[in-house]
Amino acid sequence: MGIYVKVQGLKMKFIMMSLLCVTALFAELKLGDGFPVYNLVDQFDKKVVVKQEGNTTLILSFQKSVSSGIKKYIDSKDKNFLEDNSIMYISDISIMPSFITSMFALPKMKKFDFKVALIYDDDVGDIIPREEDKVTVMKLEHNGITSIEFVAPKELDKFLK
């Protein structure tokens, strides 16, 4: 009986530690964290890596309406606006059904004059903080998150100078 209780106690400790580890893995990113290295691709299926050195600004979209606002904003800028200002645009399309992605979204994105890094895996996007109808703007210095803002697409100019 005593061995059974010890084994059950060890099992419970193992389960609790496993849950804590899994929770930590999927915890939302916050100031001071390093931005994870993701295997993302752009709309042309070319590998995209978040810059690990220097300063980078990420603009992230999690909704179609927000993505449309970001496109409108970028289209109003010079052709190389994103590259010239160390800005990377990432769109989470993991919620989109794959047939919609392949038949409609990707062909449309391939006409863009700028690169869009795409998140296909919902586990990747889940740790990125977001607000409804807002762009998540993250500033990175040597891959460390120094700023997180939630901005309406119409207000991007105030945050992307």
The tokens of 133 are what? 């109808």
137 token code pair: 């703007």
Domain 31-159's class? alpha beta
CA 61 from chain centre, in angstroms, equals: 8
pTM of the model: 0.81
CA distance 5 to 24: 29
Query: What are the domain boundaries of the chain?
Result: 1-28, 31-159
Q: What is the pLDDT along the chain (161 residues), one digit of tens a residue?
A: 555 444 454 454 444 444 333 334 457 999 989 988 888 999 999 999 987 788 999 999 999 999 999 999 999 999 999 999 999 999 999 999 999 999 999 999 999 999 999 999 988 889 999 999 999 999 999 989 999 999 999 999 988 86
State phi, psi for 136 to the nearest 5 degrees: -90, 120
d(CA 10, CA 16): 10
